[in-house]
Chain A
Amino acid sequence: MSVQVLNSSGNGNPLTAKDYATDQDVRWCPGCGDYSILKQVQTVLPTLDIPKEKTVFVSGIGCAARYPYYMNTYGMHSIHGRATAVASGLKAARPDLDVWIITGDGDALSIGGNHFIHLLRRNFNVNVLLFNNEIYGLTKGQYSPTSPKGKVTKSTPYGSVDHPFNPIALALGAEGTFVARSMDRDPKHLRDILLAAHEHKGTSFIDIYQNCNVFNDGAFGLFTDKATKDDHTLFLEDGKPLIFGKETKGIKLDGFKPIVVSLEETAADECWIHDPKDKIKASILSGFFEYDMNQGALPRPFGIFYKNERATYEDLLTEQIEDHKKTDNTDLDKLLSGENTWEVK
């Protein structure tokens, strides 16, 4: 099949964010966090060296899943939980395409949980944007697999008794090779993470905290509100110490136990230095996951928890095919006749 490749001049894509928008009205609720994510992606894409026609967005079902309709690229709005599976087939068939998966907490972690873990395990070179709002929005407000225990929703009027998933720990456990967290309210951080995710060869998973202002407003207020965010967020940077609280606090490891220290008593360079290649430390970091307002509580990390290269599924598949093309039969008639034929005269 002939595929035209235009517009990749190496030094810059002549397109702008506007070129990535469609003529369809965006129909998310006013004030929804999805708008910010859409905007950051549309801003980032023209800076990449990828032609628009080579870009594909695949989604499942849910509010977030409407996303492909708003991107003037190739796209598919598939069925609930299966965007990861559709994208796997697409990427296996077409390694040349730049594939983005748009999913939500219900879509990826509940109905699509199985495909999600297998996507990470196989390590297709795709990007997964998890719009995590800790609620079912499109079905109008039931608790999701990331809602905290005790959450009162339409389907849990007396509070949820379900224990929530920790998406970062799940992605690490599923052998993800790029595991990060960001949020809708921090556009710059989100853009940086999107760029890093795209640059990573392998499955890049971003857990994006996204505010549902209708059914779960303020779920992430602790990390976004001016009054609390400094004490409750920790921005991870490769080679930098884990410090937060307007550079007043840091994290040290006491054995395998992370503890909060005051930077008045401990120097910053004595703190835990972030190394995203260290899977054990990434796994400890993924455990910074309680809603705890108490003094000394661990802050919620944002940034790249873990990043390491491993061969992608599509590369290994292609390699095997190319190897066998060199050594095995490629003649269809020989294949049809097989090895044992006889002739009736």
Chain B
Amino acid sequence: MKEININRSKKEVVILFAGDSGDGIQFTGGQFTETVELFGNDISTFPNFPAEIRAPIGTEAGVSGFQLKFGSVEVFTPGDQYDVLVVMNAAALKVNLHNLRQGGVIVANISGFDSKNLKLAKYIDDENPLTNDSLENYEVHAIDISKLTKEALKDSGLSVKEIDRCKNMFVLGFIYWMFSQSPDNTIKFIQHKFKSKPEIADANTKALKTGYHYGETSETFTSRYEVKPAPLQKGKYRNISGNQATALGMVAAANHNNFELMYASYPITPASDILHELSKHKSFGVKTFQAEDEIAAVCAAIGASFGGSLAITGSSGPGIALKAEAMGLAVMLELPLIVVNVQRGGPSTGLPTKTEQADLLQMLYGRNGEAPMPVFAAASPKDCFDTIYEACRIAIEHMTPVVVLSDGYIANGAEPWRFPTSKDLKTITPRRPDKTDFLEDKFLPYERDEHEVRPWAVPGIKGFEHRLGGLEKELRTGNVSYNPENHQEMIRIREKKVNDIALDLPDQIIHRGNEGADLLVLGWGSTFGSIERAVKDLIEEGISVAHIHLRHINPFPKNLESLLRSFKRVIIPEMNRGQLSKLIRERFLIDAISVNKTKGIPFSVEEIKQAILKHQDHVSTSA
């Protein structure tokens, strides 16, 4: 056997596994993720599903992808361009080739490039890209994966179809070999998953091992890679997606503070996974209510909140539009409620499976009347946990509905998470009614503390009977009032209540770089990874740039204005037409420059770098 060198120079590798929806791509990507995590790499992942549930097999519309970047350094995004593109058929190559870096590796399943598949992928004249010279700038490994898997499993007793389903394990085994990773963790997983079907477990294991050994014995490969473990912070880790983190944050907030959790929702992409996750946790007393529509979901949550539960509804843009009236009711009732918006491309039905950040102004302003609500945004998959936990605390302690923004990118994306223990969680203390909330013997449901927080009196407690409603409330008593002075005062109070929340939130930090730099990149939500990486790289190159990322968009952190003013110029990259920019300009009269992208896909690090260089240049020449 000839000598194969192991290339250890790579700090980061981006792989895209792509194939037909039925090829087990998501499973393959998930297993690779788990293995490199256990090995100690940092990683960021992003699954990319087709919008159609069962798009025609072999077509471009049916291509499913799982993108990941793993490294021996801190990883912030799933990567801009692929180093390795694994394709199970011709359509997968056609859709994704443009994003493979020059000189990158292609691993292709030859039988996915037969004339039928070439036709379905609409290659002109059924020209096979694997056999003409169109891929000469890449390192192509065309392997007849289907055939090799079939041969390996010919004695397995499985049907042709079942055998064919094992081909993703062959690929995974081969990629493990290529990156010097052990297949053991996946073997363990397969044996456990198919415990009740040992013949399936054994076939998958065999396919995996065959793929691994193929790398070693086929003698067509001259190099393997090894990416060393990353110097991550010490501690215990697990992998987590944004939607999972959101769900766990809710359970933690309820369970740690002795609240019952009620999550009322209506299925919608990309928020449904929150409902799926929560519905598994019945043993924590979690009540999930799949309502008949979006309006019923938010209203049921309001009912549960009135009853004393930690009540949450979740949806995506179009669903949130339907909830708007009830959200206004929650503002008027001054009850705790969390509304999660996992944003997707809009307007209308838009791009349900693609990502966007274009609902910010909807969340801030999309209600009738003056109806202020706190708005928080999560920056990464793991940050969803802390963001939702904090939102629960603010909603309960300040008696207000709170919006939490996530989006399709971080909701489905995953990363390692140094998970907290229950000891690390903050205590949430509601303002319960007491003797001071009475006028003689009458309970005052709208009596307030210095931050305008009213007491939360839950049905069942004698002596605190009261009525809430959407009609304007009289100061203190909460009775219906049409008094003009009272209405104006109540509007002022509801606004102050939300503004005062800033006093209960931490000061804004600079995530990278220093105060007073030439250029600030101000971001919010899922752009965190791309901005962070771009700013880090450019600081290392000597550029005067910094990164601030907002979780709290309403109210803004109290020190934000003074921070912003220290920079010569502020740019704001957003996956919308400039919504945060509008807010910053309006609030502070700061001439922030908007950098927009609305393609349904996140900013690449390169795009952020280009924007920084363009505007940084301008600062230095004008200075």
Contacting residues, chain A, for B460 (C-beta < 8 A): 1, 3-5, 53-54, 94, 96-97
A79-B329, A336-B420 known; A324+B282 contact, CB < 8 A: yes
Q: Is the CB of B299 within 8 A of A86?
A: yes
Chain A residue numbers with a CB within 8 Å of B248 are 335-336
CB within 8 Å of A: which of B459-496?
A: 459-471, 479-480
In the bound complex, how far is the Cα of B590 from the Cα of A292, in angstroms? Answer: 73
B465 pairs with A328, CB closer than 8 A: no
| CB contact between B287 and one of A76, A317, A340 (< 8 Å): that residue | A317
Interface stretch of the complex, out of A67-75, A138-146, A205-213, A221-229: A67-75
Task: Indicate if A294 sits at the interface (CB-CB under 8 A).
Answer: no
- Asked whether, in the complex, the Cβ of B467 is within 8 Å of the Cβ of A327, the reply is no
Interface size class of B (residues with CB under 8 A): 35 or more
Q: Are A92 and B283 in contact (CB under 8 A)?
A: no
Within A290-345, which residues are at the interface with B (CB < 8 Å)? 317, 320-321, 323-325, 327-330, 332-333, 335-338, 340-345
Task: Report Cα–Cα, A67/B513, bound state, in Å.
Answer: 60
Q: Chain B CB within 10 Å — which of A78, A89, A97, A320 has the most? A: A89
- What number of A residues sit within 8 Å (CB to CB) of B? 64
Q: B422 near A344 (CB under 8 angstroms)?
A: no
Q: Within the complex, which residue of A1, A22, A79, A90 is in contact with B470, where a contact is CB–CB below 8 Å? A: A79
Residues of chain A contacted by B238 (CB below 8 angstroms)? 337-338, 340-342
Please, which residues of chain B bring their CB within 8 A of the CB of A92?
Answer: 262, 287, 289, 300, 303-304
Contact B419 A336 (CB under 8 A): yes
With contacts A54-B460, A89-B300 taken as known, whether A75 is within 8 angstroms of B422 at the C-beta atoms is no
Contact B34 A88 (CB under 8 A): no
- Say whether B235 contacts A94, CB under 8 Å: no
Establish whether residues B303 and A90, one from each chain, have CB atoms under 8 Å apart when the complex forms.
yes
A residues near B285, Cβ cutoff 8 Å: 321, 325
A93 and B262: CB pair below 8 A?
yes
Q: Answer yes or no: B321 CB below 8 A from chain A CBs.
A: no
A1-39 contact mask (Cβ, 8 Å, vs B): 1 or 0: 101111100000000000000101000000000000000
| Chain A CB within 10 Å, residue with most, of B238, B239, B251, B467 | B467
Judge whether B237 is part of the interface by a CB distance below 8 angstroms. Answer: yes
A179 within 8 A of B: no
A89 touches B289 (CB 8 A): yes
Cβ–Cβ contact B292 & A76, under 8 A: no
Tell whether, in the assembled complex, residue A78 and residue B40 are in contact, meaning their CB atoms are under 8 Å apart: no
Indicate if A82 sits at the interface (CB-CB under 8 A).
Answer: yes
Is B614 part of the contact surface with A, judged by Cβ < 8 Å? no
Interface-central residue, B282, B471, B480, by most chain A CB under 10 Å? B282
Q: Which of chain A's residues has its CB closest to B467's CB? A: A75
Q: How far is the CA of A91 from the CA of B307 in the complex (A)?
A: 8
Residues of B near A340 (CB, < 8 A) are 34, 238-239
Residue picked from A118, A321, A329, most chain B C-beta under 10 Å: A321
Q: Are A335's CB and B306's CB within 8 A?
A: no
Chain A neighbourhood of B258, CB < 8 A: 1
Name the contact of B303 in the complex, choosing from A24, A88, A327, A341 (C-beta under 8 A).
A88
Q: Do the beta carbons of A74 and B465 come within 8 Å of each other?
A: yes
B420-460 interface bits toward A, Cβ cutoff 8 Å, 1 = contact, 0 = none: 11100000000000000000000000000000000000111
Cα-based distance from A329 to B280 in the complex (angstroms): 11
Q: Which residues of B contact A52 (CB under 8 A)?
A: 462, 465
Q: Does the CB pair A115–B302 fall under 8 Å?
A: no
Asked whether A328 lies within 8 Å of B236 as measured between CB atoms, the reply is: no
B contact residues around A342 at 8 Å (CB): 37-38, 40, 236-238
Task: Assess whether B420 is in contact with A79, with CB atoms less than 8 Å apart.
Answer: no
Q: What residue in chain B is nearest A54 (Cβ atoms)?
A: B460
Interface pair A325/B283, CB less than 8 Å apart: yes
Q: Are A332 and B459 in contact (CB under 8 A)?
A: no
* Interface-centre pick from A5, A53, A91, A336 (highest chain B CB count, 10 A): A336
- Residue A135 is within 8 A (CB to CB) of chain B in the complex: no
Taking a contact as CB atoms under 8 Å apart, the answer to whether B287 and A114 are in contact is no
Is the CB–CB distance between A329 and B233 below 8 Å? Answer: no
Give the interface SS of chain A, mostly helix, strand, loop or mixed: mixed
Interface flag for A56 (CB, 8 Å): yes
Residues of A within 8 A of B422 (CB): 332-333, 336
B588 within 8 A of A: no
Q: How far is the CA of A338 from the CA of B366 in the complex (A)?
A: 37
CB-CB < 8 A to B264: which residues of A? 89
CB distance from A318 to the nearest CB of B (A): 9
A328 CA to B301 CA in the complex, in Å?
A: 25
CA distance A1 to B308 in the complex (A): 8
Chain A minimum-CB-distance residue to B299 = A85
Q: In this complex, which of B38, B236, B462 has the most chain A Cβ atoms within 10 angstroms of its Cβ?
A: B462
Minimal Cβ-Cβ distance residue in B for A344: B232
- Asked if B307 and A94 sit within 8 Å, CB to CB, the answer is yes
Complex-state Cα separation, A278 to B87, whole angstroms: 63
The chain A residue sitting closest to B37, CB to CB, is A342
Is A51 an interface residue, CB under 8 A from the partner? yes
Residue of B nearest to A82 (CB): B299
> Closest approach, in angstroms, between the C-beta of A52 and any C-beta of chain B?
7
B293 at the interface (CB under 8 A from A): yes
B255 interfacial by beta-carbon distance below 8 Å? yes
Is B333 in the interface zone, CB < 8 Å from A? yes
A87 interface residue (CB < 8 Å to B): yes
Which residue of the partner chain B has the closest CB to A90? B303
Evaluate contact between B311 and A115: CB separation under 8 angstroms. Answer: no
CA–CA, A68 to B479, complex, Å?
11
Docked Cα-Cα span, A296 to B284, in Å, equals: 61
Task: Please judge, given known A-B contacts A332-B251, A341-B236, whether A1 and B469 are in contact too, CB under 8 Å.
Answer: no
* Contact of A77 with B by CB under 8 A: yes
For A72, the closest partner residue in chain B by CB is B465
Question: Which residues of B from 173 to 194 have beta carbons under 8 Å from A?
Answer: none
**Set of chain A residues within 8 Å of B300, measured between Cβ atoms:** 85-86, 88-89, 92
Nearest neighbor of B254 in chain A, beta-carbon distance: A332
Known: A321-B286, A333-B421, A343-B235. 16 other contacts (CB 8 A): A3-B461, A22-B467, A73-B465, A76-B306, A78-B470, A79-B329, A82-B326, A89-B289, A89-B300, A90-B303, A93-B262, A332-B255, A341-B419, A342-B40, A344-B40, A344-B233
22 pairs, CB–CB < 8 Å, chain A vs chain B: A53-B463, A69-B467, A69-B480, A71-B467, A77-B469, A78-B299, A82-B296, A85-B303, A88-B296, A89-B305, A93-B262, A93-B304, A97-B307, A115-B293, A320-B282, A325-B285, A332-B251, A332-B422, A335-B284, A338-B240, A342-B40, A344-B235
B residues lining the A interface (CB < 8 Å): 34, 37-38, 40, 232-240, 248, 251-252, 255-256, 258, 260, 262, 264, 281-287, 289, 291-293, 295-296, 299-309, 311, 325-326, 329, 333, 419-422, 458-471, 479-480
